[in-house]
Amino acid sequence: MKITIIAVGKLKEKYLKQGIQEYVKRLGAYANIDIIELPDEKAPENMSDAEAEEVKRKEGDRILSKISTDTYIISLEIMGEMLTSEELARKMDNLATHGKSKIAFVIGGSLGLSKEVTDRSDFALSFSKMTFPHQLMRLVLVEQVYRAFRINRGEPYHK
Ligand SMILES: C[S@@+](CC[C@H](N)C(=O)[O-])C[C@H]1O[C@@H](n2cnc3c(N)ncnc32)[C@H](O)[C@@H]1O
């Protein structure tokens, strides 16, 4: 399985970098994993709604340019659907069974994802109704993807 994580915005915090690196290393035993970090668009203070939409649209274009048409997209959206870890594991297993071996998880920048990205997305995944910073979201996501593979392999993992 090929897993790509596409994230807008630079990962700055050392502790997050280390945590993500650790899970990416562990995930290497189960899947081909790649993280694509895209630059965020300069967002002026006190932007109008139209300016904010333009920022998201530009970031969205960058995101979509990295995704091939045969890729199943899971966008991370606060208002998306909440799953248990087991449900996410089952979803990923079902995708693999049905020949969908390329999955891209997409994390937006500080303003979120553009309509173009959410429209193209195959599944909107919410981690809760709370807003997480995009850098932290990346760490939580890689841990949950790792957990999903462990669950699907029937391997022991903390409950
Ligand atoms: C700082 S948040 C963006 C907040 C923005 N106001 C919005 O509504 O999307 C940055 C990105 O992290 C991800 N994110 C943050 N909290 C999330 C949550 N609870 N569930 C799923 N994704 C989340 C989303 O991809 C979001 O685009």
Question: Does residue 66 lie in a domain region?
Answer: yes
pLDDT by position in tens, the chain (length 159): 999 999 999 999 999 999 999 999 999 999 999 999 999 998 888 999 999 999 999 999 999 999 999 999 999 999 999 999 999 999 999 999 999 999 999 999 999 999 999 999 999 999 999 999 999 999 999 999 999 999 999 998 766
pLDDT, one tens digit per residue, over 117-146 is 999 999 999 999 999 999 999 999 999 999
Burial class (CB in 10 A: 0-12, 13-18, 19+), 29: exposed
Buried residues in 76-96 as b, exposed as e (16+ CB within 10 A)? bbeebeebeeeebbebbbebe
Atom of ligand 1 nearest to the CA of 108: 27
Question: Does residue 159 lie in a domain region?
Answer: no
Within 13 A of 120's CA, how many CA atoms are on the CB side?
21
Using CA positions, which residue lies closest to atom 12 of ligand 1? Answer: 134
> In which domain, by residue range, is 44 found?
2-152
- CB 60 near ligand 1, within 6 Å: no
Question: Does residue 158 lie in a domain region?
Answer: no
Per the structure block, which two tokens stand in for 114? Answer: 């553009």
* pLDDT at 158 (0 to 100): 66
Query: Per the structure, how many domains does the chain have?
Result: 1
Q: How far apart are CA 133 and CA 126, in angstroms?
A: 13
Question: Does residue 157 lie in a domain region?
Answer: no
Task: Kindly indicate whether the ipTM for this predicted assembly is greater than 0.95, answering yes or no.
Answer: yes
**Residue 147, domain CATH:** 3.40.1280.10
Question: Does residue 11 lie in a domain region?
Answer: yes
Question: Does residue 35 lie in a domain region?
Answer: yes
Q: How far apart are CA 116 and CA 95, in angstroms?
A: 23
Q: Is 130 assigned a ligand-binding role in the annotation? A: yes
Question: Does residue 94 lie in a domain region?
Answer: yes
